[in-house]
Structure 1
Amino acid sequence: MNWYVVYTKPKWEKKVAEKLMQAGIECYCPLITQIKQWSDRKKKVEVPLFNSYVFVQLSENERNTVFTIPGVVRYLFWLGKPAIVRDEEINVIKKSLNASNIADVSVSSIQVGDRIKLDSGVFSNQDTIVQEISKTHYILVLESLGCVLKIKYK
Structure 2
Amino acid sequence: MTWYVLYTKPKWEKKVAEKLNQIGIECYCPTVTQIRQWSDRKKKVVVPLFNSYVFVQLPEIEKNSVFTVPGVIRYLFWLGKPAVVRDEEISIIKTSLQASDVIDVTVSSIQVGDKIKLESGAFSNQDAIVQEVSKTHYILILESLGCVLKVKYR
How does the TM-score come out when normalised to structure 2? 0.67
One-letter amino acid matched to 1:61: I
Query: Could you say which residue in structure 2 is the equivalent of 1:23?
Result: 23
Whole-angstrom distance in 2 between the partners of 1:69 and 1:63 = 12
- Say whether the 8 Å CA contact 2:33–2:101 is kept in structure 1: no
Query: Could you say which residue in structure 1 is the equivalent of 2:64?
Result: 64
Q: Structure 1: which 4+ aligned runs deviate by more than 4 Å? A: none
Question: What CA RMSD, in Å, does the superposition of the two structures yield over aligned residues?
Answer: 2.1
Whole-angstrom distance in 2 between the partners of 1:101 and 1:61 = 36
- Map 1:12-91 onto structure 2 (within 5 A): 12-91=12-91
Whole-angstrom distance in 2 between the partners of 1:100 and 1:11 = 23
Q: Residues 79-105 of structure 1, C-alpha deviation per residue, up to 9 Å, x if partnerless? A: 11100001110000000001138527x
Q: Does 1:7 align with 2:7?
A: yes
Whole-angstrom distance in 1 between the partners of 2:130 and 2:33 = 32
SS across alignment from 1:15: helix
Q: Does 1:103 align with 2:103?
A: yes
SS across alignment from 1:51: coil
How does the TM-score come out when normalised to structure 1? 0.67
Whole-angstrom distance in 2 between the partners of 1:127 and 1:24 = 40
Greater C-alpha radius of gyration: 1
Q: How many residues align?
A: 112
Identity of aligned residues (%): 73
Structure 1: where are the runs of 5+ without partners?
Answer: 105-114, 120-125, 129-154
- Say whether the 8 Å CA contact 2:6–2:56 is kept in structure 1: yes
One-letter amino acid matched to 1:20: L
Q: CA deviation at 1:127?
A: 8.8
